[in-house]
Structure 1
Amino acid sequence: MLSPQDQLTELVRNLESNNHVFATDPLLVTEKLQNEDGSPKQKLHRRAKRIDSNGKLAKVLGKIDARIKSIMVMMSVVWCVSGFLGLFTLLQANVVNFFYVLVCLLGFHTLMLVGWLLLTFINRGKQSANWFASLVSPSYLIRGKDDVTQAAVSLYEQQLEHSGMRWYLGKFSHQLWLATLTGMLLAIIFLLVVRQYSFSWESTLLSDNALIGLTQTLGWLPSLVGFNVPDSAAIIQSRLVTDALPLSVARQWASLLVGSLLMYGIVPRAIAWVFCALMFRRKKMRLDIKLPYYQKIISFWQRKVIDADDFKEAPAPIAPKAEISQAKKLVVLLEYPSAHQQWWRAGAAIESNEAVENFGILDDRDDMARLKDYLDRHPVQVLLGIHSKALPDRGTLRKLDQIATHAKHGLIVQLLDDDSDIDADTELTTETYKNDNVRYQQWQTALAERQIGLVASH
């Protein structure tokens, strides 16, 4: 069967698939577990336990499990008592036929053990516990029509039908046989303590030598662990005995009887029980986390959450710094006039003694046609002054692109602020643009995209 943690996790899955209302919201538990450490299976176990915060689901599962185990214990006790009573009834006479009692003790047991071994190898890997599932169905053990009880019963029935349950069934059957043999062993010891027996044997076909050989062979294994075995004289002396044997001879037979029950009955069954227990542990049903239900939860936990502190804002585009060439300069105002006649000297882009030709204001199509004609005929570097009121709209940027295309020695831009009262020696700045961060950044972005240099202000 599944482990208790796996059972609870599977029960939560079955109930959640049927829209059951839990004590704690599964979505909240799933979200809180996202940042916790642990393997996916450990976190699924933790999730199921937190969803079952009132312990109702675990209580129902525990009740079914306890009742199944109690039935198994009760059956073991009944088998032990039946073995005790059966042997107690068998050993009522004072003179006991040793081989008859031995066959009654171990004959049917040995046949059943050999049959189990044959079925185990023949039926290897096949399911053989369906009848057991119907015999101990949890629906017989717990009453309840609520969805939790019904889901828990269904979960247990699925486990009982698992192929690995054949080993669980084998383990349980060996447990019952061990209980029976233990009851017989207790009965023999009790009767040998409180009563004095004589042991005999009789046979029509077997001679004394044959019985001596059979007894010595039978006693080889018990003798290895310290049990006494009757010698040849004791064996011959015990044939057709109707009265009490010497106490030493009776003790030899009693020791062989107890040793045979232990070594040929209890020990082989105990080995078979251990084998089934190991195989059941190996073939035990396990939580299948590859199911879509679990994969969806695990996928959510594996998503990387980016905190606000981890967010890095992309740097705003910055226009390249203007490179002043040695070519003749042509200064042009874009759309708006400037209150300062020599506005181009504010950014120190042009030396005071440098020859400059002032084109004036570039506004309409005629101005653009005249400027392009001039640039095609004269190799100059254009310094374009842009007023704070100008916007980098589509039409304005189109003019910028045309000027950059026709200027043989390139185009540089100077952002102007004509709101202040200036004279010839006053430096113009881009403070208006910097105060209007949106517009200023728009121009920076537009110039950066076109790799047009910007004259830095002082």
Structure 2
Amino acid sequence: MTELNTLWLTETIRLREEHAGPLDDLEANRLARTAGGDLSARIQRRALWLAERDGLTTALQHWLQGARLALIVMAVLAVISGAGLAFAALGDGQAPVNVFWALGSLLGLNLILLLSWALGLVFAGEHGATLGRLWLWLSEKLARDAKAAQLAPALLLLLQRHKLNRWVLGVLVNGLWLLAMLSALVIVLMLMATRRYGFVWETTILGGETFVAMTQALGALPALLGFSVPTVEMIRASGDAALNIESARQAWAAWLVGVLLVYGVLPRLLLALFCRWRWKTGQARLHLDLNMPGYAQLRERLMPTSERLGISDAAPEQLHPIENGVSDLPSDGALLVAIELDDQRPWPPKLPKTVNNAGILDSRESRNKLLEQLSRFPPARLAIACDPRRSPDRGSLTLIAELARSATATRIWLLQAPPGEALDAARLGDWHVALQQLELPFADSAPLSWLETGHD
């Protein structure tokens, strides 16, 4: 996971909570506090855990795959467009090529959009948004993941906050135009190598000396790179008809190729490299804006000045399968814990010496205390005793899931009803369905042998 992707997912979680309300983040906050670090590191750790749980990490991978495919599609279109410009400029060789008409076909649109991009960069910083929106739209469509729709707005906000959107769009715009100009240059060279072209210039209102001056001015920079420029006599003679002289054709061809390279290819190459350099240097300075309301309100939860107990979190919308043994800390020992048992049931049962008793969790304080302890000393085996006479509400199931994630292996003990009392079959079935969704093994007999030895 790169630094940019981490910040991207963090911003996505912030936007999601801003629009849909706070997420069920009790376990994420606890893990972030346990991991330590400054507030920014804890916010990112929390966001990564929530993104992994809610499928945003997978959606990000799908979006990146879609973005690469979209970029390939746009690159192919740029290459085809550049080839089309070359064919339109030179034609099939049956008629003489009007050099300035050909030059306008090859460079006109490119130079107009280049000037427009430069002005937009200076005055607004947003030019190129059309190509950028097209790329984002294609990326989302090709990702084929509904959750990926939340990622593009988060990326735009993150980059706009640090004024990096202009540079990443600059890389995109100039890179695509560079491909188009290179494609045009290659096709021009291929056509000139395989067909015989004659070159003329034509005008009604301009004088011949104007074309002489324009040709020499445009050819000055290419001449520094070794490209030949037609002589004054060749330029004047080409105003009447295409010269049937090999040296004249070669001089005009070299001049046209040189002008295309110097004024078409090189500016886009230099600008693409410049934008990429600004993007890389700016990317290294990316950070979270901790003053934003979505992050500021996490300060007390992730870096509390004092422990605040008794806070009730919103129930989760769905249950997520348990991934055991996810802690980086070594796990050891066996632990038995019970959830909300009444006083009529004797507890705990007689336990082997190697099995520890964590008591009964019947308050927020006892729950938080045990979770904090398990985050530092995760057990190898954990048995959770539940009273199936109670309904499997989301709060209890969320607690079971948090406890299970802290242990290498977990089993649920659905206690028998007290003598003279029967269990409700429908309620017991609800427990079975909920625990199956959590992918946790359960039984109605005490798993004491498994706690002690690791097997039944």
**TM-score, with structure 1 as normaliser:** 0.54
| Deviations 1:290-338, CA, capped at 9 Å, x for gaps | 3355456566458699xxxxxxxxxxxxxxxxxxxxxxxxxxxxxxxxx
The aligned residue for residue 28 of structure 2 is 26
| Deviations 1:315-374, CA, capped at 9 Å, x for gaps | xxxxxxxxxxxxxxxxxxxxxxxxxxxxxxxxxxxxxxxxxxxxxxxxxxxxxxxxxxxx
Instruction: Give the AA of the match of 1:99.
Output: F
What are the within-5 Å matches in structure 2 for residues 282-361 of structure 1?
286-292=287-293, 294-295=295-296, 300-301=302-303
Q: Which runs of 5+ in 1 are unaligned?
A: 306-458
Q: Is the 8 A contact 2:98 2:199 kept in 1?
A: yes
The aligned residue for residue 267 of structure 2 is 268
The aligned residue for residue 5 of structure 1 is 6
Instruction: Give the AA of the match of 1:178.
Output: L
Shift of 1:277: 4.1
CA distance in 1, matches of 2:134, 2:207: 52
The aligned residue for residue 255 of structure 2 is 256
Residues 169/192 of structure 1: CA separation in 2 closer, same or farther (3 Å cut): same
CA distance in 2, matches of 1:167, 1:262: 24
Instruction: Give the AA of the match of 1:110.
Output: L
CA distance in 2, matches of 1:150, 1:61: 10
Shift of 1:190: 1.1
The aligned residue for residue 198 of structure 2 is 198
What are the within-5 Å matches in structure 2 for residues 64-83 of structure 1?
64-83=63-82
The aligned residue for residue 175 of structure 1 is 175
The aligned residue for residue 370 of structure 1 is none
CA distance in 2, matches of 1:135, 1:302: 42
CA distance in 2, matches of 1:97, 1:39: 67
What are the within-5 Å matches in structure 2 for residues 20-419 of structure 1?
20=23, 25-34=27-36, 40-42=39-41, 44-49=43-48, 56-91=55-90, 92-94=92-94, 95-121=96-122, 123-124=123-124, 129=129, 133=133, 136-137=136-137, 140-143=141-144, 148-149=147-148, 151-152=150-151, 155-156=154-155, 158=157, 164-242=164-242, 244-246=244-246, 248-278=247-277, 286-292=287-293, 294-295=295-296, 300-301=302-303
Instruction: Give the AA of the match of 1:104.
Output: S
| Deviations 1:418-446, CA, capped at 9 Å, x for gaps | xxxxxxxxxxxxxxxxxxxxxxxxxxxxx
**Number of aligned residue pairs:** 297
Partner SS, residue 240 of structure 1: coil
Residues 7/238 of structure 1: CA separation in 2 closer, same or farther (3 Å cut): same
Instruction: Give the AA of the match of 2:199.
Output: F
Q: Is the 8 A contact 2:228 2:255 kept in 1?
A: yes
Q: Which runs of 5+ in 2 are unaligned?
A: 308-456
Instruction: Give the AA of the match of 2:34.
Output: K
Shift of 1:53: 5.5
Partner SS, residue 230 of structure 2: coil
CA distance in 2, matches of 1:120, 1:255: 34
CA distance in 1, matches of 2:40, 2:189: 51
| Deviations 1:245-294, CA, capped at 9 Å, x for gaps | 22x22222111111101111122223333444455567767422333554
Residues 119/291 of structure 1: CA separation in 2 closer, same or farther (3 Å cut): closer
CA distance in 2, matches of 1:131, 1:89: 24
Shift of 1:222: 0.5
Shift of 1:185: 0.7
| Deviations 1:128-167, CA, capped at 9 Å, x for gaps | 848954883466555556xx55644653464587665344
Partner SS, residue 202 of structure 2: coil
CA distance in 2, matches of 1:97, 1:86: 14
Residues 242/221 of structure 1: CA separation in 2 closer, same or farther (3 Å cut): closer
Shift of 1:216: 1.5
Residues 113/126 of structure 1: CA separation in 2 closer, same or farther (3 Å cut): closer
RMSD: 3.9
Partner SS, residue 65 of structure 1: helix
Residues 134/228 of structure 1: CA separation in 2 closer, same or farther (3 Å cut): closer
Residues 152/112 of structure 1: CA separation in 2 closer, same or farther (3 Å cut): closer
CA distance in 2, matches of 1:216, 1:130: 37
Shift of 1:78: 0.6
Mark the structure with the bigger radius of gyration.
1
Partner SS, residue 227 of structure 1: coil
Q: Is the 8 A contact 1:228 1:255 kept in 2?
A: yes
Q: Is the 8 A contact 1:130 1:161 kept in 2?
A: no
CA distance in 2, matches of 1:297, 1:78: 46
The aligned residue for residue 443 of structure 2 is none
CA distance in 2, matches of 1:57, 1:26: 15
Q: Is the 8 A contact 2:62 2:145 kept in 1?
A: no
Instruction: Give the AA of the match of 1:93.
Output: G
Residues 80/131 of structure 1: CA separation in 2 closer, same or farther (3 Å cut): closer
Identical positions, percent = 27
Residues 142/21 of structure 1: CA separation in 2 closer, same or farther (3 Å cut): farther
CA distance in 1, matches of 2:107, 2:131: 27
The aligned residue for residue 418 of structure 1 is none
Residues 127/255 of structure 1: CA separation in 2 closer, same or farther (3 Å cut): closer
CA distance in 2, matches of 1:182, 1:127: 23
Residues 129/217 of structure 1: CA separation in 2 closer, same or farther (3 Å cut): closer
Partner SS, residue 25 of structure 1: helix
Partner SS, residue 265 of structure 1: helix
Q: Is the 8 A contact 1:130 1:160 kept in 2?
A: no
Q: Which stretch of the first structure deviates more once superposed, 209-218 or 279-288? A: 279-288
CA distance in 1, matches of 2:135, 2:245: 50
